[in-house]
Amino acid sequence: MKRQFLTLATASLATLAFAQSHFYVHKTDGTLITYDINEVDSISFDKVVPDSNNLSDNKQQSKSDSNELYVDLGLPSGTLWAKMNVGATSPEQIGDYFSWGETSPKDNYSRSNYKWNGWDIDQLIENGICGSDSTLAPEHDAATVNMGEEWRMPNLQECIELLKACAWSDTTIANNDRETLLFKVTGPNGNYILLPRTGVNNQWDASAYYWTSETSKFYVSNPNDCSYSMFAHNSGSFGYNRNLHQRHTRYDGVPVRAIRKPIKKDADNEQYVDLGLPSGTKWAKMNVGATSPEQIGTYFAWGETAPKDNYSRSNYKWASTEIDKLIENGICKTDASVGPHYPLAALSPEHDAATVNMGEDWRMPTVVECNELLKKCAWSDTTIVNEEGQSIQIYKVTGLNGNYILLPRTGLNGYPGSSTYYWSATPSALWYSQPGDCSYSMFVHYISDDPTSRNTHQRHTRYDGAPVRAVRK
């Protein structure tokens, strides 16, 4: 192994100090040591070529320790969390304490010196302190005022997502011979942020409190005196000791960890995910009729393009219509992309629920494309928190390039269930009770190494109501 002795002298440190006031040493036992550059004269160390077995770990670590001010945790909402608290200069510092809706710290925090003491939600909205959604207006948001217009305090759902969708653990930072206990919050993609334990009102203790931007209708001693905060006492193996504190008195001094949303890309590109599949197929981010990835969206009978109140053979347009008749009547077209199945056919655009509801660039996937998603991607169970704060079990389908889509469990015929079905555009020559009554669907019952746990269902009765996940090239 080649070793080279290096010295980083004061002049180099001065250059480094222009960009950063601290640097960090990550030890192999997980300890993080922080140094103030102004207190360091020089650094000497051996440069060792890293073990190839640790290259992936080093790469992942560099993602979380880049020069950016935020960390992408891979959250379903796309929310980006700041690396440090408002007013802090390094991740382990608590930073400034703020009363809720105030944008400057104070020497002491009490009801008597709080600006909005006793104001109810209607008054806060009427006077422009909050918007109509009960979240702080930008000019009263400590993150926006102190960090810039791209930043803001997290709302209720964004805090719920951080609390429930991330793995929380205890970690320690050694800072100038003093150990600081923090929470390490690791996102679904392996990136992480560090949250110091904070206490309230400039008084540290082992608990951590962070303001949300939302006011609460609950109260402690006086009506109209509370807002939501994010609370954590210890990591807890089941997360019982981290939650939303819905009765946190607004006049308390509490730190703020800011968030921002990712830079908007082309609107069309945001509708699909490139999973790196060999076919080049792009899968939509959500189901037809849904407005967010965890929603089931609309149920369709196969070959119909609008939902119904109930789904049965008696009200199905193409009951007992064999494939030759479907092609003859223009319901299906021959399509070589379907592959070696009983004849080569797929729904025509005017009978394709994805094309009709999403536009000509979109269509329902063929059975071949469904099989590619089922067999080429890694499937796992995950949990997403919806706008109502409910935890929903969902499938995470990760492509060859690491990108992923989320597929909700669907059930059938307008009734959600644990089994999952998605229509393909391909009719089946097999039949269930009558000839000409089946098409292929993509079926998942549970995640397992057993390949039969997810497959294409070749005898799915067409009159059933099942969701559609669109594709495009």
What pLDDT digit, counting tens, does each position of 125-179 carry? 888 898 888 889 999 999 999 999 999 999 888 888 888 888 988 888 876 666 7
Check residue 146 and give its pLDDT: 95
Distance between CA atoms of 466 and 307, rounded to whole angstroms? 10
Which pair of tokens denotes residue 278?
A: 């060999």
Are the CB atoms for 22 and 34 separated by under 8 Å? Answer: yes
Check residue 409 and give its pLDDT: 87
Domain boundaries, the chain: 67-173+182-260, 269-472
The strand pairing partners of 203, in sequence order, are 200
pLDDT above 70 covers a percentage of the chain that reads: 72
Check residue 433 and give its pLDDT: 59
Are the CB atoms for 65 and 124 separated by under 8 Å? Answer: no
Q: What is the largest CA-CA distance in the chain?
A: 84
How many residues does the structure list for the chain? Answer: 473
- Whole-model pTM: value is 0.47
pLDDT one-digit tens code per residue, 264-288: 444 445 789 999 888 889 999 999 9
Check residue 429 and give its pLDDT: 76
Residue 47's pLDDT band (boundaries 50, 70, 90)? Answer: very low
pLDDT > 90? residue 82: yes
Which pair of tokens denotes residue 131?
A: 């918007």
270 against 322, higher pLDDT: 322
451 against 80, higher pLDDT: 80
Check residue 434 and give its pLDDT: 66
Amino acid at the residue 91: P
Check residue 431 and give its pLDDT: 64
219 against 71, higher pLDDT: 71
Q: Which of 118-127, 210-219, 329-338, 457-466 has the lowest mean pLDDT?
A: 329-338
Q: Which residue has tokens 């059938």?
A: 412
Please choose, from the candidates 238, 229, 170, the residue with its C-alpha nearest in 3D space to the C-alpha of residue 32. 170
pLDDT > 50? residue 62: no
* Residues in CB range of 118: below 8 A, 6 or more apart: 222, 224, 225
Average pLDDT of the residues in 392-416: 86
Residue 340's pLDDT band (boundaries 50, 70, 90)? Answer: very low
Q: Which of 25-29, 172-176, 215-219, 417-421 has the lowest mean pLDDT?
A: 25-29
Query: How many C-beta atoms surround the C-beta of residue 139 within 10 A?
Result: 10
Average pLDDT of the residues in 419-443: 77
256 against 12, higher pLDDT: 256
Average pLDDT of the residues in 211-239: 66
Query: Rounded to the nearest 5 degrees, what angle is found at the Cα of 182, between the Cα atoms of 179 and 186?
Result: 135
Check residue 143 and give its pLDDT: 96
Average pLDDT of the residues in 196-217: 82
Are the CB atoms for 74 and 189 separated by under 8 Å? Answer: yes
41 against 23, higher pLDDT: 41
Residue 239's pLDDT band (boundaries 50, 70, 90)? Answer: very low
Distance between CA atoms of 208 and 115, rounded to whole angstroms? 24
Give phi and psi for 451, each to the nearest 5.
-65, -20
Burial of 14 (0-12, 13-18, 19+ CB in 10 A): exposed
For the ranges 60-64, 150-154, 202-206, the maximum mean pLDDT occurs at 150-154
Are the CB atoms for 90 and 38 separated by under 8 Å? Answer: no
Query: How many C-beta atoms surround the C-beta of residue 298 within 10 A?
Result: 18
Check residue 265 and give its pLDDT: 47
Q: Which residue has tokens 């997290």?
A: 154
26 against 78, higher pLDDT: 78
Query: How many C-beta atoms surround the C-beta of residue 138 within 10 A?
Result: 13
Amino acid at the residue 361: D
Report how far apart the first and last C-alpha atoms of the chain are (Å, whole number).
48
pLDDT > 90? residue 39: no
pLDDT above 90 covers a percentage of the chain that reads: 27
pLDDT > 50? residue 91: yes
Q: Which of 203-212, 282-291, 296-305 has the lowest mean pLDDT?
A: 203-212
